[in-house]
Each structure stands twice: as structure tokens, then as C-alpha cells.
Amino acid sequence: MTVLRIRRKIFFLALVVVGAASIGWGCRPKQDSAADMQFWTLELAPKFNPYMKGVITNWDRDNPDAPVRWTDLPWGSVERKLLAAVFARTAPDLVNLNPLFTANLASKGGVRDLTSLLPADAAERYLPSVWESGQDFKGEQIAIPWYLTVRLSLVNQQLLQQAGLEAPPRRWKDIPAYARRIHERTGRYGLFVTVVPDDSAELLESMVQMGVTLLDSRKRAAFATPKGRRAFAFWTDLYRQGLLPREVISQGQSRGIELYQSGELAMLASGAKNLASMQRNAPAVAKVTQSYPPLTGADGTANVAVMTLVVPRQSQRQQEAVDFALFLTNGDNQARFAQEAKVLPSSLQALKQVQMAINAEQPKSREAAQIRAARSLSSKTLERARVLVPAWPGVKRLQSIIYTQLQRAMLGQISSDEAVDEAASQWNIYAEARWP
């Protein structure tokens, strides 16, 4: 081994040690001990410190042999720090991840199948479509759902009226006519959907809503079909006809928010949380904004984003970790968190409580009434929502391949049909190497 390689190895190990030693913030003042159950979350501190401390105090009181040590991590560092902790064999007992992080960890054999650790009625406590999103390709339950968000259509009513439209479209098939009407009558754009490979999955989700099957049972491309070709052509044509902002191929969804807040966009796929930010950052636009149901396909199915709880395989307290996850996500605890964080719960009992609380609200301002209306619509949208693009291992690679080929088609480098065929070919080469 060369001196350079030795130095690199020492440097990497040092990074691992430093990362493991400096991870996040814990709500318990005492030092870690062997008795502590380690729990990691994503960007909840310091805003939700009182809530988390209350839940953990209640758990510790009834479970003195399994006290919880809470650590909160920034979003951008969680995957790196978790993988470093797994490498160093210091992984937490329970961790809050989104499905893509979960799938990545599962693909490396780092996630525990929870099936044998769960009570028989566990699935009955949660929204069925959300519970199923915690299953992997083999049908193993690798995650417990926690909190949820759904997109709405936030619509600039002023631009809609200028275009002579009474309401925004509800289905993707109506988008071309709507986008053309907005652009011709106002000079603005109807919508923003990014094709940046590592950004929002909204466009991929739209393909599923259009009836496209992305992968078959062998994980091979299943989108080189008439429906898949129509979906590729749909987005290619919108861009080539100048009905999408030029930036969709180079900038992420945050650019869509900027365009909407500046009055350059008639409709934004977002939710109540961004609406609240808009009230502060762009009050004039927020004032003329109204919430509508999200865009869907013919069957009306919307997408739901899920945050989950996962037990790393290295955990020495797997049963206690599952029990704490069930406690954290029970009806009462989820209902309180959903109200505080303005998100939606995965628990059926909590959802009923949240809906009752929203209905009972008596807003004292126009802004509060606007947020209430958005949250009420979000809760109702859950009835027809599911995770449209499951977090399979490699799904980000699939998104990257499809988006890259769509970019080429949009720019006129290849036809949309050629983009379909090239994307399918590239994915199958990857899939055959990974899953022979």
C-alpha cells in the first residue's frame, strides 16, 4: 500500500469518526449510555423541540428500560452521516427518512424487515395506500409511515381571469389548451414542471397518472409503449411550442416558486406550507391566489409524499425501536404533530382528529382563512392519493435517465420517440447489470 493510499484511508476514517461524533443535536441533557435508544430525525429542531421532548418524556416514563436519545440532522447531510454511521457500526436504532433514502439504505442491506416485529393489526391503523408505500419489491414492510404532504394547485386568479378562464384544469389532458390560452392572453406561463434529473419527481409522477407503467416485475423498462410515447410527446411538445418556461430544463422546482411569486406563473403545484411563505414573501400574489385540487390523470389519483421511520439492521434494540415508532405515530401524537407542523398524518385516527380540528377553526384573518382552506383541501385530497412512484432501489437513476432523454427531445436533439427508446435502453442496461 502506497503512502498516498494510507493517507487517504486515514483521512476517510477520520471523517467517519468526526461525523459520528458531531452528528446533530439531542434533546436529552444526559450523556449517551448503552441503555439509550438512538433516534434520528430530519430538520425538526429547534422548532419542534417542545413537541418531541413531550413525546419522548411520555415514552421514557412508561419505558424506563428503553429511554430515547433524540438527534436531529440537516436534510442535506442525513444520508452521508447515516452511511458513515453504518460503516462505523454506530447506526441509530430508529431513523426518520424519506422513501428514497430508505430504498438506498435497503439496497445496501441496511434496513430491517419489520414484519415479524409488528402487531397483527398494525396496517389497519394507517391509510392503506400510505402503509403499502413502506413495502419493498419483495413485499417486506421496511418502513412505518409518519407524516405526509400532498400537492395542491395554487392558482393566480388574476391571471386566470385575464385569460378568460373560470377555473384551472383538473386533468393533465387539458393542460396544453390551458397553457396556450394563458400564454397568448397574458404573456405568462401556465405551469412549471422541472426536468432537472436530481430535482422533483412531479413529471415522473405525471407519467404514471397518464397511465404509463414505468417498470415491469423484473425491473425492466415498461414505458416504451403507446402510452409512454404519448407522455414523452406531451412534455416535448409543450416545451417546443414555448408553453413552458425555458428554465424547466436547467432549474429545479424552487425556480417555479420564484416565477409564481413574481407573477410570471399562473399555477404552481405546491401546498399550504408554501402558501404561508408566499403570504410573507409575495403578499400581492398571495392575495389573488386560490387553492384547487391537484392535477391528476383520468382516474383522479393524486400523489402523496411520505416521511417514514426505519429500523437499521444494525440496531440492537429493534423491537423497542418499532414500539417507539408505533407510539410516535399513534393517533393522538400524530394529530398534535400534524396541527403544529401543518402537515398531514398517516394514522387514520389522527386524520379524523385533524379534519375535525380544521373544520372547527374560526380564522380571524383573510390569510388564516386562506391557509385553512388549503389544509382542508389537502386532507380531502388524501382520500384519492397514493405514492405514484414507489421508492424502488435505482428509482433516482430511472428519473435521471428519463429526464435527460426528455431534455434532449425538448431541445430538438432527438425526437420524443427516440427519447423513449434511448431511455428504455439505458435503463435496461443498468437493470440487467444490477438485477440479472
- pLDDT tens figures, 229-238: 999 999 999 9
Cα–Cα distance measured from residue 9 to residue 6, given in angstroms and rounded to the nearest whole number: 5
Cα–Cα distance measured from residue 273 to residue 266, given in angstroms and rounded to the nearest whole number: 18
User: Which is more confident, 111 or 25?
Assistant: 111
Tell me what percent of the residues of the chain surpass a pLDDT of 90. 80
CATH code of the domain containing 110: 3.40.190.10
Q: What's the pTM value of the predicted model, to 2 decimals?
A: 0.87
**pLDDT reported for residue 34:** 59
134 burial type by CB count under 10 A (0-12 exposed, 13-18 middle, 19+ buried) = buried
Per DSSP, the three-state class of 411 is coil
Residue-wise pLDDT for 397-421, tens only, equals 999 999 999 999 999 999 999 999 9
**pLDDT reported for residue 119:** 97
350, pLDDT greater than 70: yes
Q: Using an 8 Å Cβ cutoff, are 134 and 390 in contact? A: no
Same domain, yes or no, for 349 and 279? Answer: no
Provide the residue range defining the domain that includes 173: 150-302+388-434
Provide the mean pLDDT of the chain. 91
**pLDDT reported for residue 21:** 34
Same domain, yes or no, for 173 and 311? Answer: no
**pLDDT reported for residue 18:** 35
Q: Is residue 88 part of a domain?
A: yes
189, pLDDT greater than 60: yes
**Residue 70 is placed in which grid cell?**
433524540
Same domain, yes or no, for 193 and 224? Answer: yes
Same domain, yes or no, for 107 and 154? Answer: no
Q: Is residue 274 part of a domain?
A: yes
pLDDT band (50, 70, 90) for residue 194: very high
Work out how many domains the chain is built from and give that number.
2
Among 42, 98, 35, 46, CA closest to 69: 35
User: Which is more confident, 34 or 69?
Assistant: 69
- Neighbouring CB atoms inside 10 A of 213's CB total 13
Same domain, yes or no, for 135 and 159? Answer: no
Residue-wise pLDDT for 123-154, tens only, equals 999 999 999 989 987 888 999 999 999 999 99
202, pLDDT greater than 50: yes
Of 27-36, 169-178, 331-340, the least confident: 27-36
Which are the contacts of 95, defined by CB distance < 8 A and separation ≥ 6? 39, 40, 41, 78, 82, 309, 310, 311, 312
What is the chain's length?
Answer: 436
205, pLDDT greater than 80: yes
392, pLDDT greater than 50: yes
Average pLDDT over residues 61-75: 95
**pLDDT reported for residue 33:** 55
Q: What is the chain's Cα-based Rg?
A: 23
Same domain, yes or no, for 396 and 420? Answer: yes
Same domain, yes or no, for 129 and 196? Answer: no
Residue-wise pLDDT for 77-114, tens only, equals 888 888 888 888 889 999 999 888 888 888 888 899 99
Place of cell 414505468: 214
Cα–Cα distance measured from residue 189 to residue 182, given in angstroms and rounded to the nearest whole number: 6
Same domain, yes or no, for 154 and 182? Answer: yes
**pLDDT reported for residue 378:** 96
Tell me the DSSP string of 335-356.
HHHHHHHT-EESBHHHHHHHHH
Q: Using an 8 Å Cβ cutoff, are 346 and 133 in contact? A: no
Q: Is residue 352 part of a domain?
A: yes
Average pLDDT over residues 271-283: 92
Q: Is residue 128 part of a domain?
A: yes
Which are the contacts of 56, defined by CB distance < 8 A and separation ≥ 6? 27, 28, 68, 70
Same domain, yes or no, for 52 and 164? Answer: no
Same domain, yes or no, for 90 and 28? Answer: yes
- Neighbouring CB atoms inside 10 A of 395's CB total 19
Average pLDDT over residues 174-195: 98
263, pLDDT greater than 80: yes
Residue-wise pLDDT for 315-336, tens only, equals 999 999 999 999 999 999 999 9
Q: Is residue 377 part of a domain?
A: no
Per DSSP, the three-state class of 385 is strand
Per DSSP, the three-state class of 229 is helix
Same domain, yes or no, for 104 and 242? Answer: no
Q: Is residue 4 part of a domain?
A: no
Distances, alpha carbon 26 to alpha carbons 40, 98, 112, 303, in Å = 9, 21, 24, 33
Same domain, yes or no, for 116 and 255? Answer: no
155, pLDDT greater than 60: yes
Residue-wise pLDDT for 353-371, tens only, equals 999 999 999 999 999 999 9
Strand partners, 42: 73
Domain C-terminal end among 317, 333, 365: 365
301, pLDDT greater than 60: yes
